[in-house]
């Protein structure tokens, strides 16, 4: 598992220089504000977006990383369609979160406020609009806060989804808890232990089941959610956690793993619910990571294996979008940051529309001239 203390190199790979896709001209990164900070790409859906944070405590189990804590505390960020536009935009990270994240990631090329002042598109605590909407759970990569998937979350909310992003406490460099304490990465001390990945994704599956229990019943806004239409997506270890959550909890009807080596084992009887792998070139069949080859054979329902050969590990997150203002130089030939965000949004939304809304999306059936960077596996990208 790659550690974020080596992230500087990974970010440099993903910072974009120009967009080569045959689509309307676009910049390689989100526009910078006059102060030199980034505004995340605007959502592509028609609905305004609101966001709020929930702090939940699972008293049924101790924290797996902090042995002094007898209950598991989680921060859950919700994004959702809002009744009206306008209002104070939500912060991307607090200054303290930005400091701990950049310091823990080994990035010292920019002031901490460069990241904490990244501008989002969602209005803080805006009144939600709708009832019975499909729910998408998002899980970030190891050591990364949930905020690094904000661009994807905002886009899904603008398309009519409720999004619940889970900060898995003590597994990221910074998670702000209910009382204002900022929990740091205790799990980082154990990631070289045998069986670490398998244990971590089982813990994430438990986090997901607990969050679903609360959101679909006890939470005061539960009527916003249709409990029969729930999917999950995650990046890196968060993607591995999708497999674990689906094996554990049948409420998760469909799942997407974005460039994550999988650790949870699928039963020999298979997993029949819809699933999509969306990855970089290391995840081609017979490539560096064999876990997708193994799991592909056990996916017995609708499935897709999609690779972006010029993408990097962080192309599916906001990290590449902010790399430029952090002073991190790109390597040539990599997928531009804004294009990576566009592709991620397009294929994730198509999958969710098809499997949570029963809206067929031909984009998932074959390669598209609009997105020539995308390869469908295993037929056209390597050994089947």
Q: What is the pTM of this model?
A: 0.90
Q: In sequence order, what DSSP letters do the residues of 41-93 get, joined into one string?
A: PPP-SSS-EEEEEEEEEETTS--SS-TT-SSEEEEEEEEEEBSSS-SPEEESS
| pLDDT value, residue 3 | 31
Q: CA-based angle 315:307:193, to the nearest 5?
A: 70
CB half-sphere exposure, 131, CA atoms < 13 A: 2
pLDDT score, position 114: 81
Spell out, as residue ranges, where the chain has pLDDT lower than 50: 1-29, 32-34, 383-384
Please calculate the CA angle 177-180-181 and round it to the nearest 5 degrees.
Answer: 70
pLDDT at 31: 52
What residue segments make up the domains of the chain, in order of their start?
A: 4-377
User: Tokens 């526009």 identify what position?
Assistant: 31
Cα gap 40→30, rounded to integer Å: 6
Which class is 4-377 in CATH?
A: alpha beta
Q: What is the pLDDT of residue 18?
A: 23
């Amino acid at each position: 598992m790659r550690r974020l203390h080596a992230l500087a190199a990974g970010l440099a790979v993903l910072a974009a220089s120009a967009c080569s896709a045959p689509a309307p001209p676009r910049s390689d990164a989100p526009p910078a504000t006059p102060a030199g900070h980034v505004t995340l790409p605007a959502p592509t859906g028609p609905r305004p977006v609101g966001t709020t944070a929930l702090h939940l405590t699972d008293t049924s189990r101790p924290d797996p990383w902090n042995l002094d804590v007898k209950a598991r505390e989680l921060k859950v960020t919700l994004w959702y369609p809002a009744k009206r536009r306008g209002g104070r935009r939500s912060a991307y990270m607090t200054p303290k979160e930005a400091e701990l994240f950049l310091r823990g990631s080994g990035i010292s090329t920019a002031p901490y406020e460069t990241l904490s002042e990244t501008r989002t598109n969602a209005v803080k605590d805006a009144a939600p609009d709708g009832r019975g909407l499909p729910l998408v759970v998002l899980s970030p990569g190891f050591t990364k806060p949930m905020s690094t998937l904000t661009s994807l979350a905002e886009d899904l909310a603008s398309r009519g989804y409720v999004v619940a992003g889970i900060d898995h406490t003590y597994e990221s460099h910074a998670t702000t808890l209910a009382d204002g304490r900022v929990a740091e990465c205790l799990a980082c001390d154990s990631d070289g232990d045998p069986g670490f990945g398998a244990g971590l994704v089982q813990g994430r599956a438990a986090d997901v089941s607990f969050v679903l229990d609360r959101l679909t019943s006890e939470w005061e806004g539960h009527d916003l959610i249709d409990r029969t239409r729930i999917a999950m997506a995650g990046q890196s270890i968060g993607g591995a956690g999708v497999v674990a959550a689906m094996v554990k909890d049948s409420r998760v009807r469909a799942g997407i793993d974005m460039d994550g080596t999988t650790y949870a084992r699928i039963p020999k009887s298979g997993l029949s619910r819809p699933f999509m792998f969306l990855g970089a070139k290391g995840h081609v069949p017979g490539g560096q990571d064999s876990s997708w080859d193994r799991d592909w054979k056990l996916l017995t329902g609708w499935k897709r294996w999609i690779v972006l050969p010029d993408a990097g590990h962080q192309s599916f997150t906001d990290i590449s979008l902010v790399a430029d203002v952090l002073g991190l130089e790109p390597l040539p030939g990599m997928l531009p940051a804004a294009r990576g965000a566009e592709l991620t949004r397009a294929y994730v939304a198509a999958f969710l529309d098809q499997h949570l809304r029963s809206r067929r999306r031909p984009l998932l059936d074959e390669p598209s001239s609009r997105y020539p960077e995308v390869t469908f596996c295993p037929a056209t990208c390597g050994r089947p």
